[in-house]
């Protein structure tokens, strides 16, 4: 069965109309006669969206444990097997106990079953943008989806709306309930946040469109440049002028898009070729790469025998519209050897604009015979044959002049030997052999008596000519061998430089495998590179690819190298020589290492998660066996006594039994709350709603149930507000205060709860005067299911401090333990302050007579992706 097609409606923020657009598309397909089912749609109480469900078959939901909106019934939808299914909210995390942890996994199963899926997604849920979204909004999204899942979508449609229009929709109550509107508009839905998120969405979709354009150009073999987007390529030689060229290219790229260049707009390329200048110093190229990264560009290195051709091939491969080159460093007389790279590129660039930039190194010269990499090029061989043919003839003509008549035969031979060595250095062995034979004939004809004939009248002259031929041949051979050894050494140097660049890109990159394939394509100048895997059936599938028209099977490859028994690297573009295949084998080894490292990292992470689950499971069983059974036993015994008909209980005895039931129930409720909180922390489902919170909103509720005389509160009136989730902060502080109350013995000073501002943070300290904790145990007390020896059995399962620290860290704060002066333990909450107004006067409260509505600390932030935080019942 053919895999279904995935259509994603992508938006910058909630409320832009993704679900509305998805349902509208479902109705269009239904009207065309397509079998369409609404698998799961979140209307969020929006009337106009709910109206679009009329006329569509809606699948019943699976009940969600604990209540709330149900989950997608995947099995029922697979049995129904519609042609098209609407499944809203692709990044949603399913409830525990469902078949898949994430909704995108449910969608993947539907696609594998041949069902087309229409879904929705907000840009903040894309995994690679998580950190960027957190920097913009201050909210870390815990529901994310891998980039690859989104990139594999067959269609992505952007639902766009201006920030002003979206805020107006919010104000009219078309997105969130009325009680959340003000908080949302002042936090997540600020105009600056929405503008930045909108730009992220537009750029992400633009990159996807660019990938589609590259695929189309490859499939249709289009080589000319399409100026759909300005891309600037700057050519580097490794010389000191590189920084000037990079800055100039960055300005060109910035002007072309009206701002800072993106990595896809500015690319620097260094061509390592057989006739290139000497390799640059590592610190020079490293400094240029650093500057390039600061300016928002990327560095690339390719190997090519002809610099202009390699440069233009690279530029056309990335669909560049402009090339920036530096003016030649050659001196005037050196132009007799050719027009230079700049003139050649400008002549052959076609529709790519070429900028020639002047710099301080212009005309200062460069080496004409640099270290080479690879075999002798055609130009070098042509020079060798030219010297071998014309050199002896020109030298013979010069020796016929009157001023050289007194020079003897020995000097003539030495001069002709120099010409032979020059031919060997320029063109190798065969031009040098030609020069040696040609020089011998000229020596015999013009300088050995009898002149102008091949006959030799003296044996010593014949011996001298024979020795000259032998020496010429030997010198030519030695020079040729030395030159080729130098070529091999420099070839190895270029390969080592390429592999070093490869290793650094793999280490620094977030996606090692795509980075490796891109380096291979750029290094060897190929059209595409694909990693193929052979299935058990013998068929080949493509795991990863880059470039245009990648191979589907090894038969389509111009170059193929094995990575493992079932993996192969297929290159399409041109056949590689044997020397390049050696370095390609090294790339294949790196790919094998990268894949193995990914597998080991995945196995290690899974093993760590499994170990954590086993630890939690073991501790939970121990808690159920004792700590939870103890209050249940107490409740059972008290209830049995109250119900006994054969026992007459005094009124004070009945009151004591009822008090025991109440205390045991409270303790049981506290244990269950802590277990639920810890399970949320372990599964990363705690999503704080950060806003400006005054401590006067939190402290009163944390002290309810604590005797007034046991706590002393010292919270100044003028403290700044803190960035926190009021519900989470209240729960964390309450757990710490209750823990301090259990350990503060009678007769000792009361617990002290104080707060102070330190720079851009606020510290809230809870100090008791109990037995304290040794330094080596101060970190252990924050671990789940940990109790120190002084904690009596039945007083808890060791989760209170673990939950408190987990909630505090979820709000980007810290909770640490330190000694109380005079004995005891002090818990220190450190929270980030805000630039908002100070806490209201009169917020400091004495313990006696504290009264606060627990719901006053309820948060109503409009940040998407969060859920209401369970509160401590008072």
**pLDDT classification of 35: cutoffs 50, 70, 90:** very high
% residues pLDDT > 90 (the chain): 9
Which pLDDT does position 37 carry in this prediction?
94
Which pLDDT does position 171 carry in this prediction?
80
Structure confidence by residue, pLDDT tens digits, 698-749 = 888 778 767 778 888 888 878 888 888 887 888 788 888 888 888 888 878 8
Which pLDDT does position 518 carry in this prediction?
79
Which residues pair with residue 266 across a beta bridge? 232
The residue ranking higher by pLDDT, 845 or 246, is: 246
**pLDDT classification of 399: cutoffs 50, 70, 90:** confident
Which pLDDT does position 325 carry in this prediction?
87
> In this structure, which long-range contacts are made by residues 581-585, counting pairs with CB atoms below 8 Å and at least 24 apart in sequence?
582/495, 583/495, 583/498, 583/499, 583/523, 584/520, 584/524, 584/559, 585/561
Which pLDDT does position 415 carry in this prediction?
82
* Average pLDDT of span 392-413: 76
* Average pLDDT of span 130-146: 82
- Laid out side by side, the sheet with 540-547 consists of 540-547, 528-534, 567-572, 559-562
Which pLDDT does position 23 carry in this prediction?
93
Q: How far apart are the first and last CA of the chain?
A: 57
- Has residue 767 got a pLDDT over 80? yes
C-alpha–C-alpha distance, residues 406 and 402, integer Å: 8
- Has residue 865 got a pLDDT over 60? no
The residue ranking higher by pLDDT, 27 or 237, is: 27
Least confident of 155-169, 546-560, 793-807: 793-807
* Average pLDDT of span 613-623: 59
- Has residue 1 got a pLDDT over 70? no
Least confident of 370-379, 480-489, 641-650: 370-379
- Has residue 180 got a pLDDT over 70? yes
Structure confidence by residue, pLDDT tens digits, 73-114 = 999 999 999 999 999 999 998 888 788 889 999 999 999 999
Which pLDDT does position 858 carry in this prediction?
35
* Average pLDDT of span 611-631: 61
**Interacting residues of 265 by C-beta distance below 8 A, sequence separation 6+:** 229, 230, 231, 232, 253, 256, 257, 296, 297
Tell how far CA 770 is from the center of its chain: 48
Residue position matching structure tokens 């795991």: 543
Which pLDDT does position 10 carry in this prediction?
92
Least confident of 493-507, 529-543, 656-670: 493-507
The residue ranking higher by pLDDT, 412 or 90, is: 90
C-alpha–C-alpha distance, residues 621 and 613, integer Å: 12
Number of helical H runs and strand E runs in the chain:
24, 22
Which pLDDT does position 107 carry in this prediction?
93
Structure confidence by residue, pLDDT tens digits, 430-469 = 787 788 778 877 877 777 777 776 666 566 666 766 777 7
pTM of the predicted model, to two decimals?
Answer: 0.37
What distances in angstroms separate CA 63 from CA 94, 95, 680, 868, one per listed residue?
A: 12, 10, 19, 19
Which pLDDT does position 108 carry in this prediction?
92
Which pLDDT does position 868 carry in this prediction?
35
**Cis, bond preceding 850 (omega within 30 deg of 0):** no
Burial grade of 835 (CB within 10 A; 0-12, 13-18, 19 or more)? exposed
Least confident of 272-286, 414-428, 511-525, 528-542: 272-286
Which pLDDT does position 455 carry in this prediction?
63
- Has residue 672 got a pLDDT over 80? no
Least confident of 125-139, 209-223, 729-743: 209-223
Neighbours of 191 (CB within 10 A): 13
The residue ranking higher by pLDDT, 803 or 339, is: 803
* Average pLDDT of span 147-165: 88
Least confident of 12-21, 542-551, 644-653, 859-868: 859-868
* Average pLDDT of span 567-590: 76
Which pLDDT does position 849 carry in this prediction?
32
> Shortest CA distance to 117 belongs to which of 93, 141, 147, 149?
149
- Has residue 548 got a pLDDT over 80? yes
**Interacting residues of 26 by C-beta distance below 8 A, sequence separation 6+:** 36, 38, 52, 56, 84, 86, 118
% residues pLDDT > 70 (the chain): 74
C-alpha–C-alpha distance, residues 643 and 635, integer Å: 12
**pLDDT classification of 276: cutoffs 50, 70, 90:** very low
* Average pLDDT of span 355-374: 53
Least confident of 58-62, 300-304, 506-510, 634-638: 506-510
* Average pLDDT of span 661-690: 70
- Has residue 215 got a pLDDT over 70? no
Instruction: Write down the mean pLDDT value for the chain.
Output: 76
* Range among 469-478, 490-499, 525-534, 862-871 with highest mean pLDDT value: 525-534
* Average pLDDT of span 778-803: 60
């Amino acid at each position: 069965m053919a895999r279904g097609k995935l259509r994603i409606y992508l938006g910058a923020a909630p409320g832009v109309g993704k679900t509305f657009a998805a349902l509208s598309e479902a109705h269009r397909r239904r009207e065309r006669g397509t079998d369409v089912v609404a698998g799961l749609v979140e209307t969020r109480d929006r009337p106009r969206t709910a109206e679009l469900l009329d006329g569509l078959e809606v699948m019943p939901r699976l009940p969600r444990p604990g209540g709330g909106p149900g989950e997608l019934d995947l099995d029922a939808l697979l049995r129904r097997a519609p042609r098209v299914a609407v499944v809203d909210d692709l990044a949603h995390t399913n409830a525990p106990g469902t078949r898949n942890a994430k909704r995108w996994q449910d969608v993947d199963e539907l696609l594998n079953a041949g069902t087309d899926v229409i879904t929705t997604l907000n840009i903040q849920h894309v995994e690679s943008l998580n950190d960027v979204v957190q920097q913009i909004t201050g909210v870390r999204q815990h529901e994310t989806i891998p980039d690859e899942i989104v990139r594999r979508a067959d269609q992505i449609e952007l639902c766009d709306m201006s920030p002003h229009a979206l805020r107006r929709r919010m104000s009219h109550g078309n997105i969130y309930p009325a009680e959340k509107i003000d908080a949302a508009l002042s936090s997540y839905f600020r105009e600056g946040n929405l503008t930045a998120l909108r730009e992220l969405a537009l750029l992400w979709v633009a990159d996807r469109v660019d990938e589609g354009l590259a695929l189309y150009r490859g499939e249709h073999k289009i080589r000319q440049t399409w100026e759909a987007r300005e891309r600037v390529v700057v050519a580097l030689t490794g010389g000191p002028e590189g920084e000037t060229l990079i800055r100039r290219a960055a300005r060109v790229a910035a002007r072309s898009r009206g701002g800072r260049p993106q990595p896809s707009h500015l690319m620097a390329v260094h061509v390592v070729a057989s006739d290139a200048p000497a390799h640059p110093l590592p610190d020079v190229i490293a400094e240029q790469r650093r500057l390039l990264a600061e300016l928002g560009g990327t560095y690339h290195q390719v190997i090519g025998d002809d610099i202009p051709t390699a440069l233009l091939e690279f530029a056309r491969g990335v669909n560049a519209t402009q090339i920036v080159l530096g003016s030649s460093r050659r001196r005037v007389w050196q132009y007799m050897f050719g027009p230079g790279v700049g003139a050649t590129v400008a002549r052959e660039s076609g529709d790519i604009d070429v900028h020639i930039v002047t710099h301080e190194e212009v005309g200062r010269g460069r080496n004409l015979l640099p270290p080479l990499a690879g075999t002798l090029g055609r130009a070098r061989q042509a020079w060798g044959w030219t010297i071998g043919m014309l050199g002896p003839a020109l030298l013979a003509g010069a020796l016929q002049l009157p001023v050289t008549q007194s020079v003897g035969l020995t000097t003539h031979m030495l001069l002709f030997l120099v010409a032979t060595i020059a031919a060997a250095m320029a063109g190798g062995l065969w031009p040098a052999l030609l020069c040696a034979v040609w020089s011998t004939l000229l020596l015999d004809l013009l300088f050995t008596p009898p002149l102008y004939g091949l006959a030799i009248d003296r044996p010593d002259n014949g011996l001298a000519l024979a020795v000259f031929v032998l020496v010429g041949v030997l010198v030519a051979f030695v020079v040729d061998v030395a030159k080729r050894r130098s070529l091999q050494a420099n070839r190895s140097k270029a390969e080592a430089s390429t592999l070093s660049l490869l290793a650094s890109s793999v280490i620094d990159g977030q996606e090692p495998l795509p980075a490796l394939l891109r380096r291979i394509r750029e290094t060897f100048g190929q059209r595409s590179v694909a990693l193929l895997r052979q299935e058990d059936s013998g068929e080949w599938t493509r795991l990863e690819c880059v470039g245009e028209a990648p191979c589907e099977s090894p038969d389509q490859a111009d170059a193929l190298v094995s990575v493992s028994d079932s993996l192969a690297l297929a290159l399409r573009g041109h056949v590689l020589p044997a020397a390049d295949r050696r370095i390609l084998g090294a790339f294949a080894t790196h790919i094998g290492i990268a894949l193995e490292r990914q597998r080991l990292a995945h196995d290690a992470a899974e093993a760590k998660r499994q170990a954590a689950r086993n630890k939690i499971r073991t501790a939970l069983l121990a808690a159920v066996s004792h700590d939870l059974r103890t209050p249940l036993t107490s409740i059972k015994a008290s209830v049995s006594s109250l119900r006994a008909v054969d026992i007459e209980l005094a009124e004070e005895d009945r009151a004591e039994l009822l008090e025991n039931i109440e205390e045991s129930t409270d303790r049981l409720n506290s244990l269950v709350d802590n277990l639920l909180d810890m399970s949320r922390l372990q599964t990363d489902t705690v999503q704080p709603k950060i806003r400006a919170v005054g401590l006067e909103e939190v402290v009163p509720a944390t002290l309810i149930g604590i005797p007034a005389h046991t706590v002393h509160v010292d919270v100044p009136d003028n403290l700044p507000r803190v960035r926190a989730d009021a519900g989470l902060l209240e729960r964390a502080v309450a757990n710490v205060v209750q823990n301090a109350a259990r350990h503060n013995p009678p007769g000792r000073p009361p617990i002290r709860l104080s707060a102070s501002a330190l720079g851009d943070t606020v510290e809230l300290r809870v100090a008791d005067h109990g037995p304290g904790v040794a330094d080596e145990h101060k970190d252990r007390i924050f671990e789940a299911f940990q109790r120190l020896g002084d904690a009596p059995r039945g007083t808890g399962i060791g989760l209170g401090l673990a939950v408190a620290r987990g909630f505090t860290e979820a709000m980007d704060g810290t909770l640490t333990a330190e000694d109380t002066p005079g004995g005891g333990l002090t818990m220190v909450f450190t929270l980030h302050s805000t630039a908002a107004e100070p806490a209201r006067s009169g917020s400091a409260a004495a313990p006696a007579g504290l009264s606060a509505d627990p719901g006053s600390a309820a948060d109503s932030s409009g940040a998407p992706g969060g859920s209401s935080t369970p509160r401590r019942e008072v």
